Chains A and B, each alone.
Chain A
Amino acid sequence: MDPKLVEVTQLIDRFKAAFKASNFDVCSTLLSQLKVLLTKFPSLPPVFQQTPNAVEELKLAREIYEQAVILSVKMEDQDAFERDFCQLKPYYMDTCGIIPPSSEEYPIMGANLLRLLVQNRIAEFHTELELLPAKALDNAYIKHGVELEQSFMEGAYNRVLSARQTAPHETYIYFMDLLVKTVRDEIAGCSEKGYDYLSINDAKQMFKFSSDKELQQYIAEVN
């Protein structure tokens, strides 16, 4: 086996171990080492050179980037998520026929959709959606995002807020939390225009806050 492959495999194992131990700092240093190592693989995009180890290399690289995406969620780093996802995407889109599809593909795609929703980048959300095959829309992970977006657009914010409980993957929780914030921002924007004044109770209900204190805190944040 190629020594480079061996090295990468060993590093991945160490990464996974650290990940399990929730030692994220170690994880990110290992990850950047891994990424640098990956640049030495000629079979990776955009070159796609046909080497004997191509399949192995591609699989490894994909796994590394998948882990990187998940790690970024754990570390609650949206920029890193976007960066890693973008780098991961060619492995999903362009490696047709070389390596089998990954089991993590749809969960991560779904997470990405959520991220776009959270960042209120609706156009890009739809672009991503268009790129997916029709079949994929039946997938639970994807469907989750699509439904959320529909509710969000309709203004059925209660449905959005209650969807946190039905999140199909653990990584989604993070985004759902963020989404609540996004929704509240939307509501705030609308009520600002819609009402001259609003009672504390109505507002609490509307913003789905459980306590006055939370509401006060939010108001302070917005202003």
Chain B
Amino acid sequence: ASSPSPSKLADAPHRAQQTLAHPHIFADAAMAAVATVSSAGGILAMLHEPAEELKLHALASLNSVVHLFYPEISTSIPTIESLYEDEEFDQRQLAALVVSKVFYYLGELNDALLYALGAGPLFDVSEDSDYAHALLAKALDEYASFKTRASKATEEEENVDPRLEAIVERMLEKYDKILPFVHILLFIRWSIQLTVTLCCRCVLDGKYQQAMGMAVECRRLDKLEEAIVRCDNIHGALSYCINLSHQYVSHREYRCEVLRCLVKIYQTLPHPDFLSICQCLMFLGEPETVANILDTLISGSKDDALLAYQIAFDLVENENQAFLLNVRNRLDSQTPGQSNPDSGSALPVDQTVNAGTTSTEPAGDVQMGDDTTTANGNAHPVDPNEAAHADKLAKLKGILSGEKSIQLTLQFLYSHNRSDLLILKTIKQAVEMRNSVCHSATICSNAIMHAGTTVDTFLRENLEWLSRATNWAKFSATAGLGVIHRGHLQQGRALMAPYLPQSGAVGGGSPYSEGGALYALGLIHANHGEGIKQFLRESLRNTSAEVIQHGACLGLGLASLGTADEEVFEDIKNVLYTDSAVAGEAAGIGMGLLMVGTASEKAAEMLAYAHDTQHEKIIRGLALGIALTVYGREEEADTLIEQMTRDQDPILRYGGMYALALAYRGTANNKAIHQLLHFAVSDVSDDVRRTAVMGLGFVLYNEPEQTPRIVSLLSESYNPHVRYGAALAVGISCAGTGLSDAISLLEPLTSDVVDFVRQGALIAMAMVMIQTNESFDSRVGTFRRQLEKIILDKHEDTMSKMGAILASGILDAGGRNVTIKLLSRNKHDKLTAVIGLAVFTQFWYWYPLLYFISLAFSPTAIIGLNSNLEVPKFEFLSHAKPSLFEYPKPTTQQTTTSAVKLPTAILSTYAKAKSRAKKDAESKAANQEKTAEAESKANQEKSTAESKPSQEKSTDAESKAKTTEDASGSTSGEAAKTQEKDGDAMQVDGAAEKKAPEPEPAFQILANPARVVPAQEKFIKFIEGSRYVPVRPAPCGFILLRDTQPSEAEELVLTDAPATVATGAGNNAAAAAAGQGSAAMAVDDEPQPPQPFEYSA
């Protein structure tokens, strides 16, 4: 009893200070008569008073001063606790509150929470104090973890403290009072989300979001439902929840539960948002319901049909081939049931017709939808309603098959192609002929630059140069054609015909080009290979050359991506069991591609073979293949990942890293990140470490801002492999974002001491900067110049030179109209894109795999469609400076052109732009013609001034205008219109160039279809009162437009694209008669397939 409490000692100086101001010492001091308490001793003494009222009074006083005197009070906690435990005492809860606060100040949050629960209603959840905030956060944490634990072990009874539940429920009820707490909680739990919430708050009431977030976190779906239903903006709330469930619910099954709950709410609404429902259903994998919804919609009004189309387009964007196939099949089986009384007979007929087309027609053009339509149409030619329905159904299936979007994309990429041939020319001249690495890199760069545009001018102009590619380089070069013609579904076969293995003729071409052609076919039909599958299988079976097998395996894998087709699997497996290194590697990857995301037991089979074989190449191919099979399966994949990461063989551990990365792709799952980081620093094999770091990029691509922070330390590692991995991780996860942090991290790596690190950094940088122009981030310009310097430098290492060449390709990929996007607009992962990048990173071992990057490209376009799925004339607004998002300026021929002369060029353009602007006001087609003339004159002037910044471009445009005229031919109205469109495009250029003399306009009008880069999307506005109203106002991708004046004639654009006239009948003949035939049947403006190479080998 003799030792004083430490708290009293601690408090002593404080009191001593008070004493200084004691009136006994400074009696005369004219002090303000403000008294403060210096000790809680008096109040504590009062606790011992026998009278209840005094105890009460003491407790109340303590409650008000606890924040000042908790050290003193802490010694009396037993006294207060005994008050709380005293059943007779009528203010037990107050005592509990005081104890809770003291514990809180002592940092004992668990005890504090315990007593706060004891305080019952006295614990005020709406109080705005640190204490309340901290305890609430703690309470929620506890509750959420209770719930999570309870859900994990369901047999374990839920023994959640009912009091805790009561608190959380009170919180959820009071969500309108706890706004300040919103911030705190979000900070603790979802710090990133804070910004999102703040952004959304203007749109949606933040408090409800808060409630929803907590409900989701605490696994209280009932409360979630309540919050959503009570919210005044139900649609906003629901879409917020969907977002929430994708971003913050890490457990896959629980996420499904949340989504199911959301779908349930959606369906009870009077006007359900079918777009969102279908998205949810797709995630849940319920094609049946989606098919039902679509079917109901197309049976409805015209607007409903539009909506159905829009849904279909959105579903296609997510690239889930197996799901789409299911939906299509369900639609097939439903339609006869509804429209046809004798469904039993109609159904098999349809199917046989289908089967017949795919198997008998070697051309294999994907026309499944059309066939079915004709079958239906023939059966009931009389009923107009039914015919309309069948028509709509056919369109819908056309969309779902992906054909429509691929076709439109192809048209867009072709018509808007802005690739800069000069860059390629520079590269070609700089690269030494004998250096085959750089040579094939250049070919690859060309392929990437023109991916999906069908423009192969460069190849045709340099046939002789091209023919230097021998052996595997030839394989790659041929495969490159597939990238260029990607999505050219109708004529892909015909285009590749000259290189394909000829079944009849013996020894037609080299096996390398034949194999490459099969691979190219796969790239063309990637993820939409229904039609080509059969042909590829036959080619695979008919050959024993391992190079051709290699190409065929890759091609088959690509074409039947994720379909898990048993027969195809068997075919590829047979190749695998021949145990040939070259073919086996491709077979491994091909099997993986085929089984993407199925998590089938085939993986075990593959793993067993990987242990059996001696060939490293095969093991590597299988390792990647196994990783692909667990794509997106999250927790389900853990066993397999564990098995692989513990393997003795570093190559299988390497595969394990891929498995980890792909299983948890885009989830930012902490466990996965933790594991990857662990391997990145602890594994003995450089390959595994490199891949582990790279895997971070895949796991984090949904939160690109995080990646540079997480890998920043690794990017300074002593191990060049880790640095390389860090560069690619940033490149993958920040692809297409132009994120400043990412660029800052990559910049030093581009001048690393090790050549392959430079290579990786250059490629990654290009991926980050794709579609970012110099006015958006000045470092883009610096980077372009750096690339040029590296390419031109004679002494640069081959590795980094190759990186630079590829980087220039990626930077201007797809005619500058595509970006790398791993997430669809609805935050679903884009399977093809992720898979494409994953296999692409494998180029470290095998250059032909470089071409897989083309799978990751998605066009940055807004394409508006009317109810006939045609592209009407339609304009919208981009509310930002045009220069921010314009195409990069074409390079000039002579880089030495003096800068002094540039201003004159600008001035002339300015004058030109001004004069045109005046004329534009009149907006007459005739005037447009004149302008074009004036322009060409202006261009001539410019070229004489030796500065040709826009010459290339405008001549391009001009030639395009001409071809347009040719194409649309007879209808002069249309010709004028396309002219107008081109005029608009030039207007944009002109406006961008006149920055010096006049502030550039703050907005620009874009015409359908338009290039809209991702960063620009938030500036897009649809003009009010225009003829077409978008069904869904999201500013990207395919948008169905509702025509407000349906009686008037529609003006259509985008008729100048290739291959719209795909005639199914002619195709067969074309396929038979190889090169010439296909050229003949193509439209005038259709680029001709390059002549067969003269092989020197």
Contacts and interface: CB of A to CB of B under 8 A. Distances in A.
Contacts of A48: 34-37
Given A45-B37, A123-B2, A79 B54 contact: no
Contact of A93 (B8, B18, B49): B18
B16 interface: yes
A120 interface: yes
Interface residues of B, number: 43
A46 interface: yes
A133 B25 contact: yes
Interface stretch (A124-132, A158-166, A195-203): A124-132
Given A119-B1, A130-B12, 16 more contacts: A32-B49, A35-B54, A36-B53, A50-B34, A83-B48, A83-B49, A87-B45, A90-B41, A90-B42, A93-B38, A94-B36, A96-B31, A98-B33, A131-B15, A132-B19, A133-B25
B31 A35 contact: no
Given A35-B49, A96-B35, A123-B3, A133 B22 contact: yes
A63 interface: no
B46 interface: yes
A172 B121 CA distance: 49
A100 B29 CA distance: 13
B2 A86 contact: no
Given A98-B35, A121-B2, A45 B42 contact: yes
B988 interface: no
A96 B21 contact: yes
Contacts of A130: 12, 16
B39 A90 contact: yes
Interface of A: 32, 35-36, 39, 45-48, 50, 79, 82-90, 93-98, 100-101, 119-124, 127, 130-133, 135-136
Contacts of A123: 2-4
- Residue among A88, A96, A135 having the largest count of chain B Cβ atoms under 10 Å: A96
A127 B40 contact: no
B24 A101 contact: yes
For chain A, what secondary structure do more than half of its interface residues adopt (helix, strand, loop), or is it mixed?
A: helix
Interface string B795-808: 00000000000000
B558 to A, nearest CB: 78
A46 B3 contact: no
Contact of B9 (A85, A127, A132): A127
Given A32-B51, A120-B2, A127-B12, A96 B22 contact: yes
Contacts of B50: 32
- Residue among A79, A88, A90, A95 having the largest count of chain B Cβ atoms under 10 Å: A90
A101 B34 CA distance: 16
Contacts of B44: 86
A123 B37 CA distance: 23
B43 to A, nearest CB: 6
Contacts of B54: 32, 35-36, 39
Contacts of B18: 93-94, 96
B100 to A, nearest CB: 20
A212 to B, nearest CB: 33
A131 B12 contact: yes
Contacts of A131: 12, 15-16, 19
Contacts of B3: 123
Contacts of B23: 96-97, 100-101
B719 interface: no
Contacts of A132: 19
Contact of A46 (B9, B40, B51, B53): B40
Contact of A39 (B8, B29, B38, B57): B57
Contact of B39 (A79, A93, A100, A121): A93
Contacts of B51: 32, 35-36
B2 A122 contact: yes
Nearest to B16: A131
Contacts of B1: 119-121
B274 to A, nearest CB: 63
A98 B34 CA distance: 8
Contact of B48 (A79, A88, A89, A135): A79
A35 B19 CA distance: 26
Contacts of B41: 86, 89-90
